[in-house]
Amino acid sequence: MRKASGCDVNVYLYQRENRHLLCHFHRFRHNKLFCFLTHSSPLAHLSSLSPSLSLALAHSQVSRNKGKRTQNQKMVKICCLGAGYVGGPTMAVMALKCPEIEVAVVDISEPRINAWNSDKLPIYEPGLDDVVKQCRGRNLFFSTDVEKHVFESDIVFVSVNTPTKTQGLGAGKAADLTYWESAARMIADVSKSSKIVVEKSTVPVRTAEAIEKILTHNSKGIEFQILSNPEFLAEGTAIKDLYNPDRVLIGGRDTPAGQKAIEALRDVYAHWVPVEQIICTNLWSAELSKLAANAFLAQRISSVNAMSALCEATGADVTQVAHAVGTDTRIGPKFLNASVGFGGSCFQKDILNLIYICECNGLPEVANYWKQVVKVNDYQKIRFANRVVSSMFNTVSGKKIAILGFAFKKDTGDTRETPAIDVCNRLVADKAKLSIYDPQVSEEQMRKDLSMARFDWDHKVPLPQYKAEGVSEQVSVVSDAYEASKDAHGLCVLTEWDEFKSLDFKRIFDGMQKPAFVFDGRNILDAEKLREIGFIVYSIGKPLDSWLKDMPSVA
């Protein structure tokens, strides 16, 4: 008998006539017995054991050999389809925390994979470079050889994009599962051994059922277990969120094989997440919880933004109202910052998806309730742009306006659904000349975003009135805030980048046309100081300057 012990795993191996009886005692923090499994199999066939056993074995063997693997050992392998904002950071942290597991992140996009393998990663995320540098080439690999890595893996995460459908049934609301379906068909095609397939993408509730059908109808007798393991990271804080998640959610089938698969994935996360923070549910609860969490978060922002309009009309201050409301421990203080509107690739998409699911399930009242969250968000973006126009004598035609910030939030270069697109398009439609600066967004990306037809989710048609026809002539992209504001009539803050707080506003004021306006869409600037300098200031949801009060009402 040989005994091997890792920091939290004990494995005993018995050898008898070329066969191995493997008893696996898995201990977690506080020495709590977590699971007990037995299996009889030739060592050479360990690859066909459940990933849970393989994992434990690999873990113990690595511990025993102080990191060196021997010929017979099979390293557990994880593959992730989709090297995007979720797949890249999530797998990088998993590789860092589980050095005995090989992690391959694969994508059909060659430029994206090339960037992951270069010094300039395809996404900007604080702390990400460091994590990737530590693991890349050791147990973290980025590749376009999708089929090879899926074939070799025990666990396959699917983290492909699931955008809103733009055509056909459910256009403007339903999730487009084209990428997911083709990923599932490919997994079924190339697999020659049993696998756990993990839904990492955000998907409509009961997607796992459809995926299961695709996999089992094409499986050639191979067993697939589907798990739902939605991701809750936020961009800009992804690494922090992945190191210390509030919770990890794993949903699986309520069958012995389903439970075993849940355990296998729980073992992976338990390398760094306390087990009591790993919530295990059935598949449908896990899938729906993700949509519900995003809907609740977005609803808080629309609630405070709705209040901001009322504050402006009544003289109340939305920051004070949010503070007073948020100190009620039942409500809590987070996610109550009034803004120009929420953006990002997911809030709107996931709520629209939720609306569609409600409609499909004959629940129009519930659908209408959630619709209002998106409608208030659209209202807030256009209300802000209208405020800019109305304050400046109801016309911005030919006037230069500085736009500070284009990303949908600070500390990311992501512009998907950023409120800046709607605000800029609205101003360009009114013939303004925009000078845009963002520390992380490229000119090419901004021009692309501003030229794309926007989809009106409520009416299933592009938004002609706000489409920026004159993007090329009316928009310039510059490399700092001072250049953007030189000779401008107005300045709009659309992203809450920290560097905007410490700008020399006296210098900016001196270089601008008079009267000089500041429209703070994130409430990050000291409005009183700006007024002392001479600016006319609009801050979301704050008592209005007398100048603004006298202008035509926009709300």
Ligand X SMILES: NC(=O)C1=CN([C@@H]2O[C@H](COP(=O)(O)OP(=O)(O)OC[C@H]3O[C@@H](n4cnc5c(N)ncnc54)[C@H](O)[C@@H]3O)[C@@H](O)[C@H]2O)C=CC1
List residues near ligand UGA by CB under 6 A.
202, 231-235, 294, 297, 301, 335-337, 339, 342-347, 408-409
| 342 touches, from ligand X, ligand UGA, none (C-beta below 5 to 8 Å by class) | ligand UGA
Q: What is the DSSP string of 224-253?
A: EEEEE------TTSHHHHHHS-S-EEEEE-
Does 183 bind ligand X (CB under 6 A)? Our answer is yes
Q: Which is nearer to ligand X, 301 or 492 (CB)?
A: 301
| 337 touches, from ligand X, ligand UGA, none (C-beta below 5 to 8 Å by class) | ligand UGA
**Lookup: tokens for 33:** 């017995």
Q: Which is nearer to ligand UGA, 58 or 291 (CB)?
A: 291
Q: Which is nearer to ligand X, 146 or 311 (CB)?
A: 146
262 CB burial (10 A radius; 0-12, 13-18, 19+): buried
Task: List binders of ligand X among 344-383 (CB under 6 A).
Answer: 345-346
Q: Work out which of 202, 348, 353, 391 binds ligand X, going by CB under 6 A.
A: 202
Bridge partners (DSSP) of residue 493 are: 404, 520
**Lookup: tokens for 232:** 């809750």
Range in contact with ligand X (rule: CB under 6 A) among 83-91, 218-226, 364-372, 475-483? 83-91
DSSP assignment letter at 48: G
State the minimum distance, in angstroms, from the CB of residue 252 to ligand X: 19
| 162 touches, from ligand X, ligand UGA, none (C-beta below 5 to 8 Å by class) | ligand X
Task: List binders of ligand X among 216-255 (CB under 6 A).
Answer: 231, 233, 235
> Buried (b) or exposed (e) across 486-503, using 16+ Cβ within 10 A?
bebbbbbbbbbbeebeeb
Half-sphere exposure of 63 (CA within 13 A, CB side): 16
| 423 touches, from ligand UGA, ligand X, none (C-beta below 5 to 8 Å by class) | none
Residue 23, C-beta contacts closer than 8 angstroms, at least 6 positions apart = 11, 12, 14, 36, 37, 38
Angstrom distance (rounded) from CA 79 to CA 104: 5
**Lookup: tokens for 275:** 């087990």
C-alpha 130, offset from chain centre: 20
Q: Work out which of 51, 82, 245, 251 binds ligand X, going by CB under 6 A.
A: 82
| 87 touches, from ligand X, ligand UGA, none (C-beta below 5 to 8 Å by class) | ligand X
Does 204 bind ligand X (CB under 6 A)? Our answer is no
State the minimum distance, in angstroms, from the CB of residue 81 to ligand X: 4
Of the residues 346, 358, 424, 492, only one is catalytic, namely 346
Bridge partners (DSSP) of residue 103 are: 78, 140
| Segments in 270-363 forming alpha helices (H) | 283-314, 318-326, 347-360
Bridge partners (DSSP) of residue 251 are: 228, 281
Does 207 bind ligand X (CB under 6 A)? Our answer is no
Q: Which is nearer to ligand UGA, 117 or 237 (CB)?
A: 237
State the minimum distance, in angstroms, from the CB of residue 223 to ligand X: 22
| 250 touches, from ligand X, ligand UGA, none (C-beta below 5 to 8 Å by class) | none
Q: Which is nearer to ligand X, 84 or 245 (CB)?
A: 84
Does 520 bind ligand X (CB under 6 A)? Our answer is no
Q: How many Å from the N-terminal Cα to the C-terminal Cα in the chain?
A: 78
Contact between 183 and 83 under an 8 Å Cβ cutoff? The reply is no
Does residue 111 have a cis bond before it (omega within 30 degrees)? no
Distance set, CA 187 to CA 50, 95, 372, 529 (Å) = 18, 22, 39, 59
Instruction: Assess whether 35 carries a catalytic annotation.
Output: no
Q: Which is nearer to ligand UGA, 26 or 300 (CB)?
A: 300
Q: Tokens 């009402």 correspond to what residue?
A: 553
State the minimum distance, in angstroms, from the CB of residue 298 to ligand UGA: 7
The kind and range of the H/E element at 519 are: strand 517-520
Q: Which is nearer to ligand UGA, 232 or 272 (CB)?
A: 232
Q: Which is nearer to ligand X, 117 or 390 (CB)?
A: 117
Does 182 bind ligand X (CB under 6 A)? Our answer is yes
Q: Tokens 């666990």 correspond to what residue?
A: 155
State the minimum distance, in angstroms, from the CB of residue 368 to ligand X: 23
Q: Work out which of 9, 57, 78, 86 binds ligand X, going by CB under 6 A.
A: 86
State the minimum distance, in angstroms, from the CB of residue 118 to ligand X: 15
Residue 493, C-beta contacts closer than 8 angstroms, at least 6 positions apart = 404, 405, 500, 518, 519, 520, 521, 522, 524, 525
Residue numbers in the known binding site for NAD(+) are 82-87, 107, 112, 160-164, 201-202, 235, 346-349, 416
C-alpha 469, offset from chain centre: 30
Looking at residue 188, its amino acid is A
Does 303 bind ligand X (CB under 6 A)? Our answer is no
Residue number closest to ligand X, CB atom: 84
Looking at residue 471, its amino acid is V
C-alpha 435, offset from chain centre: 28
Residue numbers in the known binding site are 82-87, 107, 112, 160-164, 201-202, 235, 346-349, 416
Does 388 bind ligand X (CB under 6 A)? Our answer is no
State the minimum distance, in angstroms, from the CB of residue 308 to ligand UGA: 10
State the minimum distance, in angstroms, from the CB of residue 12 to ligand X: 39
* Helix (H/G/I), strand (E/B), else coil: 469: coil
From the list 27, 30, 36, the residue with the least C-alpha distance to 9 is 27
Identify each DSSP E strand in 107-208 by its residue range: 140-143, 155-158, 195-199
Catalytic residues: 346
Site of interaction with ligand X (CB under 6 A) = 81-87, 106-109, 112, 146, 159-162, 179, 182-183, 201-202, 231, 233, 235, 345-346
